[in-house]
């Protein structure tokens, strides 16, 4: 048994070498189809995530635009979408949020510094305009020093939600973001 194991261990480099060759061709000179046959392009072993969320969002929109024969490429503005995603990142990760309860909801004071201030103002103003009245929720936005205030007024049945969601949870409500991103990329102005 010991001799068998020693022989097997001695053969492992040879077996590994044989697996990387296909009738004398190295894997570097093989076609993609040959790689697939060897399992190198097996979907189970192929990465799916592009590695960065903003990049992934842009990639998804580009795929949608390329698949749509009605896309007017003279109006497409992917850079505008990138700038919007920067705003989203600034507000989500870099803004400072203060909150206080209102008799019918919450007031969020959102501040930052540098370019974060403009991101806060754009995002809060846009969200308030887009979501005002949806589900009976009313939004009021106003600029303040170094940021903006978002007041959220809700029906009695939803009183616990604004506090539980917090500012960023309120900002995520409504599945309008994906369509909003597509509109920006198409060169439209969703607000």
Render pLDDT for 104-135 as a digit per residue (tens, 0 to 9): 999 999 999 999 999 999 999 999 998 999 99
Say whether both 33 and 70 belong to one domain.
no
Tell me the pLDDT tens digit for each residue of 140-172. 999 999 999 999 999 999 999 999 999 999 999
Say whether both 106 and 161 belong to one domain.
yes
Say whether both 84 and 162 belong to one domain.
yes
Say whether both 38 and 121 belong to one domain.
no
Whether 83 is in a domain gets the answer yes
Query: Which one is predicted more confidently, 53 or 23?
Result: 53
Query: pTM of the full predicted structure?
Result: 0.72
Say whether both 93 and 8 belong to one domain.
no
User: Which band of pLDDT confidence, cut at 50, 70 and 90, is reported for residue 48?
Assistant: confident
State yes or no: pLDDT of 7 exceeds 80: no
CA distance 125 to 112: 16
Question: What is the domain extent for residue 100?
Answer: 53-185
CA distance 1 to 17: 25
pLDDT number for residue 182: 85
Whether 14 is in a domain gets the answer yes
Say whether both 19 and 88 belong to one domain.
no
75-78-80 Cα angle (round to 5): 90
Say whether both 111 and 70 belong to one domain.
yes
Whether 28 is in a domain gets the answer yes
- Residue 138 has phi, psi (to 5 degrees) of -115, 135
Q: Which residues are paired to 108 by β-bridges?
A: 99, 150
pLDDT number for residue 175: 64
Say whether both 35 and 99 belong to one domain.
no
Whether 191 is in a domain gets the answer no
CA distance 118 to 77: 20
Say whether both 57 and 76 belong to one domain.
yes
145 CB-side CA count, 13 A: 0
Say whether both 38 and 63 belong to one domain.
no
Which of 10, 28, 45 is the last residue before a domain boundary? 45
Total structural domains in the chain? 2
Tell me the pLDDT tens digit for each residue of 128-148. 998 999 999 999 999 999 999
Say whether both 77 and 116 belong to one domain.
yes
Say whether both 34 and 75 belong to one domain.
no
């Amino acid at each position: 048994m010991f001799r068998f194991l020693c022989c097997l261990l001695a053969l492992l480099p040879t077996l590994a070498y044989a697996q990387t060759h296909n009738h004398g061709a190295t894997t570097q000179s093989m076609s993609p189809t040959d790689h697939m046959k060897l399992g190198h392009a097996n979907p189970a072993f192929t990465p799916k995530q592009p590695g960065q969320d903003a990049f992934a969002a842009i990639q998804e929109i580009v795929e949608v635009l390329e698949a749509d024969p009605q896309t007017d490429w003279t109006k497409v503005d992917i850079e505008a979408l990138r700038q919007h995603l920067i705003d989203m990142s600034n507000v989500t990760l870099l803004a400072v949020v203060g909150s206080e309860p209102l008799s019918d909801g919450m007031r969020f004071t959102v501040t930052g510094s540098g370019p974060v201030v403009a991101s806060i103002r754009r995002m809060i103003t846009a969200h308030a305009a887009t979501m005002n009245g949806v589900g009976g929720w009313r939004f009021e936005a106003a600029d303040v020093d170094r940021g903006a205030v978002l007041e959220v007024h809700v029906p009695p049945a939803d009183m616990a939600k604004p506090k539980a969601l917090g500012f960023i949870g309120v900002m995520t409500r409504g599945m309008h973001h994906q369509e909003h991103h597509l509109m920006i990329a198409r060169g439209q102005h969703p607000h």
